[in-house]
A and B are shown apart, each in its own frame.
Chain A
Amino acid sequence: MIRLEDITRRYGDETAVDSLSLEIAEGEVCVLIGPSGCGKTTTLRMINRLIEPTSGHIFVDDRDILSLPAEELRRGLGYVIQSIGLFPHLTVAGNICVVPRLLGWEKSRMVDRVDELLKLVGLDPNAYRDKYPRQLSGGEAQRVGVARALAADPPVLLMDEPFGAVDPLNRERLQSEFARIQRELKKTVIFVTHDIDEAIRLADKIAIMRDGKLQQFDTPEEVLNHPANKFVHDFVGADRALKRLVRVRVEDVMRSPATVLDGADLLTLQVGAGRRRFAYVVEPDGRLIGWVDTLGLDEGSVPEAALTRVVPADASVRPDDSLRDALSRMLGLGFRSIAVTDRNDVLLGEVTFAAVEDAMTEGDEHISNLPPEGAA
């Protein structure tokens, strides 16, 4: 889908990007990562011709990007930047419609598209369409920035540290929303970041750069398990096992829980708990209300003293959360397992500590014979 062939960009004597070759398949998220100044932004901006390469060729859909006018090329490549750059004199709707307007869309089509996109990025169209950028919070503005880039449904998205300027809590929320949107839309995405956790979480392929040179181009799992050199190894950090958890989603390892209806007889509990010591207590509609320790209980109904009530939002994870979220929840609460619930607090399953451990050690190998530094 996108192919960079031996791209070099020099500024005077300095080489910002050095003989870089990459191939990104359709529908894939490629994350460009590396320390500040390693040439990520330069690489990204060469793809939409905001910067011209000193040498080399770039192909989008097997067409050399030089073969069509720069403006036309850019209208087909969604572009999101860290500073967002919303037009302050246009409303949210006006900002989203910039490219559709350049493309000469019908008014009614633009109106529909605005609502559709605002819903997609998690903003209520009625509340947001007529707001001005200065009335938005950082996270809201960044969502509008993403909606604007998606407006004309470009097959490719170029994102330069899109969540770099928002606070950590909002960044995680934006990341999981981006992951959801990407599962839905299947764009070809080139995503620049300097945050390795973000890269591991969102990438299908990670391209690690240093001083303009590509160090490794691989899946996150490969980068974690087989770093190509010492630089990559150090860049990924010592907590590779934890990082691996980011790649695994709760729904992939959860098992069905032992449950019992609130107020039910202990005999039912014993059956429902399947001889496990702890069981989740749910309402008839499946909503989680707490858990019960069956040790020492053998007859009658569940006594209130044995029931620990919980606030589901605090004591459970969602199916599309990562295992690292699940682990940190467990550690925070001091449990050996954690409930999985949906949006409405309905119990779906549980994740155990043992399952987390399995995922953490999977594919782990000792990195002994690293190639010397600098070799890719």
Chain B
Amino acid sequence: MGAFVALAGVTVLPFVELRPNRLVPGNAYSVAAAGPWAYLLWLLVAVGFLSAVAPTARARAASSTASGYGLVIALAWGLGAASTALLVDQTAVARVSLGSGVWVLLAGTAILGFSGGEERRRKLLRWAGPLVLVAGAVIAAFVWGGLDRISLAREFSVRASSFWSLLGGHLAMSGAGLGFGLLLGVPLGLWATRNRHVRAVTLGVTGVIQTVPSLALLGLLIAPLAALGVAVPLLRDLGVRGIGAAPGLIALTLYALLPIVRNTYVGLAEVEPAVIDAGRGMGMSSWQLLWRVEFPLALPLIVEGVRTAAVLLIGITTLTVFAGARNLGILIFEGLGQFAPDLILLGALPVIALAVIADVALSALGRAFTPEGVRA
């Protein structure tokens, strides 16, 4: 499966595109532009096919893993070689962009890499070795292999300083939204388990918020916040203005609430009544019951809610630039405005990476927080 996708990536689809400058379209080139690296890419795809036909499970796992990791390295160096070759007698503003074949190849690579064995995914240490190797090889391709000549890298080098601050802004914004969401959501979820009316209101309201389109929510927040900032100068000095971080942060907090409140509520409500009865009957106070019994049992679900919220917020954070926040969304929307696809990618790729990292990390945290006695 992965090998077929990778094969499509290195055959029928364009590998790179040479354009006179960063904004206009150009000519597509096949993988042959990568010179000798093209042969290695072909060879690795062939190894990927072995994973479907190899006789033993071990051999299948080994070949799919080897081809997965190998393809990433060969791709990095192949792209570097192709851009070096294509840019030889071009003007300084000419650009080499990634063709659709590269994305398809990467997708196939991901499938190959992940199908290499279920148990490998669990063991972080076994991952670490190959990952460091691959990362090292890709960085080497930037330094010595000409990968820094492709358009995406050029967009980055132009904006290197602002890129890092935008990335930081993105993390801060999503993180703060998530933090406030937790600070508000967990107590609300807890309160909902203790009071029928609170349950109806909180679950209803957070559900409605979730259905309001993000941009509309931001727009709705700008006017009242602006008015509030004007009316109360102290608040304005604290950053409560119609434009800036405040409306975005409030919107993000509101979006984080639903998964966190809902999962906290469900997690606590699902604790068996008999367990609570036994705890009370043995003389636990409400607090002891909450800390020693209810929260430990609900924690995996709460973390799951935080994971959902985190992935959601990292994406929605890009939209807060419309209310004046500064984060990776700026790159995306500037890129859209200028029709500069590589600039869009420079903003979008890190957002995707952040979301994936948050997803994996919080899944692992959820597993770590699952008490041994209740693990499936």
Contacts and interface: CB of A to CB of B under 8 A. Distances in A.
Interface of A: 45, 48, 50, 70-75, 79, 81, 83-91, 98-99, 102, 132-134, 148-149, 158
A75 B277 contact: no
B275 A87 contact: yes
13 contacts: A79-B282, A83-B272, A85-B272, A85-B277, A87-B275, A88-B272, A98-B279, A102-B282, A102-B283, A102-B284, A132-B372, A132-B374, A158-B281
A73 B281 CA distance: 10
A93 B342 CA distance: 60
| Pairs of residues from A and B, 4 with the lowest C-beta to C-beta distance, nearest first | A85-B278, A89-B371, A132-B373, A74-B283
B226 to A, nearest CB: 49
A50 B280 contact: yes
B285 interface: yes
B278 A84 contact: yes
B288 interface: yes
Nearest to B280: A50
B274 A133 contact: no
A327 B277 CA distance: 41
Nearest to B293: A87
Contacts of B277: 50, 81, 83, 85
- Counting chain A CB atoms within 10 Å of each CB, which of B274, B279, B280, B297 scores highest? B280
B296 interface: yes
A99 B373 contact: no
A132 B370 CA distance: 14
Given A133-B373, A134-B374, A85 B283 contact: no
Contacts of A75: 282-283
Interface in B345-376: 371-374
B275 A85 contact: yes
Given A81-B277, A132-B373, A134-B373, A89 B282 contact: no
Given A89-B371, A134-B373, A71 B283 contact: yes
A99 B278 contact: no
Given A89-B296, A89-B373, A81 B282 contact: no
Contact of B297 (A48, A79, A88, A133): A88
Nearest to B281: A79
A285 to B, nearest CB: 46
Contact of A99 (B272, B283, B297, B374): B283
Interface string B266-294: 00000010111111111111001000010
B109 to A, nearest CB: 40
Given A88-B373, A102-B284, 19 more contacts: A70-B283, A71-B283, A71-B285, A72-B283, A75-B283, A81-B277, A81-B278, A84-B278, A85-B279, A87-B293, A88-B272, A88-B297, A88-B371, A88-B374, A89-B372, A89-B374, A98-B282, A132-B372, A132-B374
A71 B373 CA distance: 27
Interface in B287-309: 288, 293, 296-297
A230 to B, nearest CB: 36
Nearest to A71: B283
Interface residues of B, number: 21
A86 B278 contact: yes
A102 B280 contact: no
A158 B278 CA distance: 12
Contacts of A81: 274, 277-278, 281
Most buried by B among A85, A99, A149: A85
Nearest to B371: A89
Contact of A85 (B274, B285, B296, B297): B274
A241 to B, nearest CB: 39
Contacts of A72: 283
Contacts of B373: 88-91, 132-134
A70 B284 CA distance: 10
Contacts of A85: 272, 274-279
A81 B275 CA distance: 10
Nearest to A82: B274
A143 to B, nearest CB: 15
Contacts of B285: 71
Contacts of B297: 88-89
Given A102-B288, A133-B373, A88 B282 contact: no
A91 B374 CA distance: 11
Contacts of A71: 283-285
A21 to B, nearest CB: 24
A356 B158 CA distance: 102
A81 to B, nearest CB: 6
B348 to A, nearest CB: 41
Among B276, B283, B373, B374, chain A packs the most CB atoms within 10 A around the CB of: B283
Contact of A87 (B279, B280, B283): B279
A46 B272 CA distance: 22
A45 B296 CA distance: 27
A74 B274 contact: no
A89 B297 CA distance: 7
A17 B33 CA distance: 90
A71 B286 CA distance: 10
B278 A74 contact: no
B281 A48 contact: yes
A335 to B, nearest CB: 45
A232 B284 CA distance: 38
B152 to A, nearest CB: 48
A45 B280 CA distance: 11
A81 B272 CA distance: 13
A9 to B, nearest CB: 17
Given A88-B371, A89-B371, A134-B374, A83 B283 contact: no
A50 B274 contact: no
B281 A88 contact: no
Contacts of A48: 281
- A87, A132, A148 — which one has the most chain B CB atoms within 10 A of its CB? A87
Interface in B229-285: 272, 274-285
A84 B280 CA distance: 13
Contacts of B293: 87, 89
Contacts of A132: 372-374
Nearest to A151: B282
Nearest to B372: A132
B141 to A, nearest CB: 48
B300 to A, nearest CB: 10
Given A89-B296, A102-B288, A134-B374, A50 B275 contact: no
